[in-house]
Amino acid sequence: MSSSLKAQFTLEDIHGCSDVIARLKELAVRAARTDFAILLEGESGTGKELFAHAVHNLSRRVDGPFLTINCAAIPESLLESELFGYEAGAFTGASRAGKPGKLEVAGGGTVFMDEVGSLPLPLQAKLLRLLQYGEIEKIGATGTVRVDVRIISATNRPLKLLVEEGLFREDLFYRLNVIRMEIPPLRQRLEDIPAIAGALMRRLNAAYPELKKDISPEAMALLQSYVWPGNVRELENILQRLFALVDGKTVLPHHLRVFLPAGPWDSPGEDGSLGQRLSLVERDMIQEALRSTGGNKSRAARLLGLPRSSLYEKLKAYGLS
C-alpha cells in the first residue's frame, strides 16, 4: 500500500502532560476497539487530525487505507465525485473508465473528513446513507456499491450549532457523533507547551543538526504566558522561525519578544494578566482580518464589526498602521 494511504501518526506523537490530553488518549484507545463514527471538535490547529491518525493505527483497520479529505478545500462541484466517484460518461469530461471515490478507495480502512460542517446538504444525505446502510451511489450510477469504511470527522465549529441554524442535518449529526472527542485549545492547557515545544525542537534538530538549538527555561516560561490563538500550529510556526533566524544554540526570552506578536512580555502576574492576553488576542484578530481582506481596512473593519475609525485607532495602538 502506498505511504500516502497510511496513517502517519500514533498516540506517541501527541505530546502533553495535562489531564485532558491523558483522558483524550484513553478515549482514543477505547474508540479504536470499534468501528463507530468519531466526531472530533476543536479550534483549528489543536491536533484533531493527529487523533484521527492515532485511532486508525490502534484499530483493527490498521492494515487498511487511511484517507483524508478536507470538505472545505474542494469546490462543491468536485466534492461529490471526490467522495463518491462516478460512472463512465457520467458528465462532460469524465473518464471513460469512471473513477472510484475516496470512500470506495478506502474500503477496509478509514476516511478522515475534515471540516465536515462544510459538506453541502445534498451530499450530507448521501453520507447519511453510507452510515446507515454501508453503501454509496456514484454519480451517474443506477445502483449502489457496498463500502466498508470507518468515518472519522472533524469540525472547528460545533455541529450542534450548525444543526440549529439549519445548515447541517440533525440525523447525520447523530450518526457522526457516536463518539465525541473535544480537543481543547492550547491556551486552556498551557502545561502541555514544554512537551510540545520540546518534541518540535527535537524534530528540527534531527532535520538540521548543524543548527541545533534548545529553549532556555526562561523562554519556555514566556511561551507559556502567551495565548496561542493559532494553537499548536502557531507554536510550530514560531519555533521554526526562531530555529531558522536566531543565532546561537539557545532560544532566549529576548528572541521571543522579537518573533511573537507585540505585547507586554513581562512575566504576567495577578495584575494585568487578563488584559495582556486579551490585547494579544485582539491584535491577532485584527491581523487575520487584514490578511483575509488583502489589507483592505474598510472590509477588515466590517469583518470585525468595528467602526472604521475604531479600527484605525487600534492599528495605531498596536503598531500595525
State whether 141 and 236 are in the same domain. no
Total domains in the fold of the chain: 2
Helix (H) or strand (E) segment spanning residue 58? helix 48-58
pLDDT digits (tens, 9 = 90+) for 300-314: 888 888 888 888 877
Report the CATH number at residue 228: 1.10.8.60
| Mean pLDDT score, 174-200 | 96
State whether 30 and 159 are in the same domain. yes
Distance CA 237, CA 154 (A): 22
Handedness of CA 253, 257, 261, 266 (dihedral sign): positive
State whether 227 and 113 are in the same domain. no
State whether 7 and 134 are in the same domain. yes
Full-model pTM:
0.79
Q: Of 200-204, 228-232, 312-316, which range is least confident?
A: 312-316
State whether 30 and 121 are in the same domain. yes
**Domain assignment of residue 204, given as a range:** 187-317
State whether 179 and 191 are in the same domain. no
Q: Are 140 and 87 in contact (CB under 8 A)?
A: yes
Cβ neighbours of residue 173 under 8 Å, at least 6 residues apart? Answer: 159, 160, 163
State whether 76 and 154 are in the same domain. yes
State the chain's mean pLDDT as an integer: 88
pLDDT digits (tens, 9 = 90+) for 273-288: 455 556 666 777 787 7
Residue 135's identity, in one-letter code, is: E
Q: Point out the domain boundary residue: 184, 214, 237.
A: 184
Q: Point out the domain boundary residue: 184, 212, 228.
A: 184
Report the CATH number at residue 156: 3.40.50.300
State whether 139 and 277 are in the same domain. no
The model's confidence at residue 94, banded by pLDDT at 50, 70 and 90, is low
| Mean pLDDT score, 144-166 | 94
Name which of 61, 69, 176 is nearest 113 in CA terms. 69
The model's confidence at residue 227, banded by pLDDT at 50, 70 and 90, is confident
3-state secondary structure of 77: helix
State whether 217 and 128 are in the same domain. no
Q: Of 58-62, 188-192, 250-254, 261-265, which range is least confident?
A: 261-265
Q: Of 94-108, 182-196, 223-237, which range is least confident?
A: 94-108
- What was the pLDDT predicted at 216? 93
Q: Point out the domain boundary residue: 184, 215, 230.
A: 184
State whether 301 and 223 are in the same domain. yes
State whether 257 and 138 are in the same domain. no
Residues of the chain with pLDDT > 90, as a percent, come to 64
Q: Are 133 and 175 in contact (CB under 8 A)?
A: no
The model's confidence at residue 259, banded by pLDDT at 50, 70 and 90, is confident
pLDDT digits (tens, 9 = 90+) for 262-274: 543 444 444 444 5
State whether 219 and 244 are in the same domain. yes
The model's confidence at residue 229, banded by pLDDT at 50, 70 and 90, is confident
pLDDT digits (tens, 9 = 90+) for 20-36: 999 999 999 999 999 99
